[in-house]
Amino acid sequence: MPLKIRKLKAELSKAGFLVRPGKGSHTVWYYPYDHSIAVSLAGKDGDDADVYKIKEVRKALKRAKEV
C-alpha cells in the first residue's frame, strides 16, 4: 500500500519542518534552521505519494538531522 501525502506531512511536521502555503494544493515545507532544506508537496492528504516525492522527503529529513 503506497504512502499517503498525509503521512509525509506528518513525518515532516514531527521532524520540526514548518509549512507555508503555495498555489492550489501545493504546500512548501522548510526546515527553520536551514532554509535551503525544503520540500514542495502537492495533492490532497488522501492522495498516494509518488515514489520520487517520497525519496525527496526522506532526503530532506536526513539532511535536517545532520544540521
* pLDDT number for residue 41: 97
For 8-22, write each residue's pLDDT tens digit.
999 999 999 999 999
- How far CA 51 is from CA of 11, 21, 56, 60, 66, in Å, comes to 16, 22, 9, 14, 23
What's the mean pLDDT in 27-47? 97
Q: Which domains does the chain have, with CATH numbers?
A: 5-66 (3.30.920)
What's the mean pLDDT in 43-57? 96
State what percent of residues in the chain have pLDDT above 90: 96
Which residue, among 31, 40, 39, 41, has the nearest Cα to 66 in the 3D structure?
31
* pLDDT number for residue 20: 97
CA dist 47 and 65 (Å) reads 27
